[in-house]
Amino acid sequence: MTVPTPAMRRAMAQAEVGDDVYGEDPTVNRLEEMAAERLGKEAALLVTSGTQGNLVALLSHCGRGDEVILGQQSHTFVFEQGGMAALGGITPWPVPNQPDGTIRIGDIVAAVRGDDEHFPRTRLVCLENTHNVCNGTPLSAEYTAQVARHAHELGLQLHVDGARIFNAAAALSVDVKELVRKVDSVTFCLSKGLCAPVGSVLCGTREFIDQARRNRKILGGGMRQAGVLAAAGIVALEEMADRVGEDHARARRLAAGLAEIPGVDVAPVATNILYFGVAPDLQKTPEDIEAALRKRGVLILARVGGRFRALTHYYVSDEDIDRVITEMHAVLAE
C-alpha cells in the first residue's frame, strides 16, 4: 500500500542515469555501495523484487540437483511459486518453523544429507527475518549467528530473506549489521515499509555478487537506466529505514484496540505485522469482513485459516488506527 514519498519522487525525477548492465549507472552504483555498507557486506546488487533476490541468491549458492533447508512457513517456500525447483533445479527441504519464526538447530542438523548418491547434496540454509507468517517476529542476532556457525561447520552457506530486516533491527534495538554479520547473503526490500516503488537489494561477498549479477541477467533482471528506481532506494535508506519503529508502536496500539472487541483474537505483535482472528460464532466469513471493511476504506488481508493480516506503515497515522478500531467495531456489530 505504500507509495513513493515526495522526496523519492523528486530524487527519481532528477536521477543521474546510465546503463546498469554495463555498470555505468552512477545512482545504482551508489545505492549498491550504500546497501553493502549498511549491511556490513562487501558488495550488493539491485534486483527487481524480494522474490527475484531470493531466487538469484539460491541460484548463486546452489547448482542443479542441490538442496536447500528452509522453514515450511517461509516466504521462499510458500509464496515464491517454487522458483528454486522450477527454474533452478534446486530441491527444497522444508522443516518446521517454530511460533517465533526460528527453526530448531537440531532440525537443521538432522536435515543435512550425508554423502550418499541416493540424495541431493545439501548446500544452503535459508532463514526469514522478520518472519511474515509467524506474526512478523524478528530473529535475534544471537540465533542467526548460531545457525550460521552450525551451517558453516557442516560445509553449508546461510542466506537470510531479510525483506523486513530493518523492522527486525528496530524491534530488537540493534544495528542491522549485527543481524547478518555471520550470514553469507541477505536480501532486503526497498518497498514495503521503506516506501520505494520497486526493488530489493541482495548483499554478500564481492565474488558472490559477481555470480549473482550473472544470474540476475539470465532471469531478465538486467535493467538499463535503473537509476530512476535506485534514487528512490537511496532515499529509503537515508530517510525511511530508521523510522520504522514508529510503525511498530502503531501496530501495538491497533492490537490493543482490536483485543477489546468481543470475539476478536489478536496474536502477539513484535513489529509492524498484526495477525488476528474472529470467533466463528460471529457468523461472518473472513471474506465478508474484508469486503465490509474495504467499503469503509479499511484495507486488510484475509489469509488462509481464517486469520487476517494488517500492516502499519509510513502512511498509517494515529488517527487511522483509531478509525480502523471504530470500523471493526461497526462491521462486527452489523
pLDDT tens for the chain, residues 1 to 334: 899 999 999 999 999 999 999 999 999 999 999 999 999 999 999 999 999 999 999 999 999 999 999 999 999 999 999 999 999 999 999 999 999 999 999 999 999 998 899 999 999 999 999 999 999 999 999 999 999 999 999 999 999 999 999 999 999 999 999 999 999 999 999 999 999 999 999 999 999 999 999 999 999 999 999 999 999 999 999 999 999 999 999 999 999 999 999 999 999 999 999 999 999 888 888 899 999 999 999 999 998 778 999 999 999 999 999 999 999 999 999 8
pLDDT of residue 281: 83
d(CA 67, CA 90): 6
How much is the pLDDT for 224?
96
pLDDT of residue 119: 96
pLDDT at residue 87 in the model: 97
Beta pairing class for 67-71 and 122-128? parallel
Where b means 16+ CB within 10 Å and e means fewer, 97-124 reads beeebbbeeeebeebbbeeeeeebbbbb
Topology of domain 245-333 in CATH is Aspartate Aminotransferase, domain 1 (3.90.1150)
Name the CATH topology of 6-240.
Aspartate Aminotransferase; domain 2 (3.40.640)
pLDDT value of position 220: 97
**Does a cis peptide bond (omega within 30 degrees of 0) precede residue 130?**
yes
Q: List alpha helices for the chain, DSSP H.
A: 6-14, 26-39, 50-61, 75-78, 83-88, 105-111, 141-153, 165-172, 176-179, 206-218, 227-235, 245-259, 286-295, 318-333
The whole-model pTM stands at 0.96
Residues 6+ apart with CB under 8 A from 191: 2, 197, 198, 199, 200
> Residue 64: what pLDDT?
97
List the chain domain ranges.
6-240, 245-333
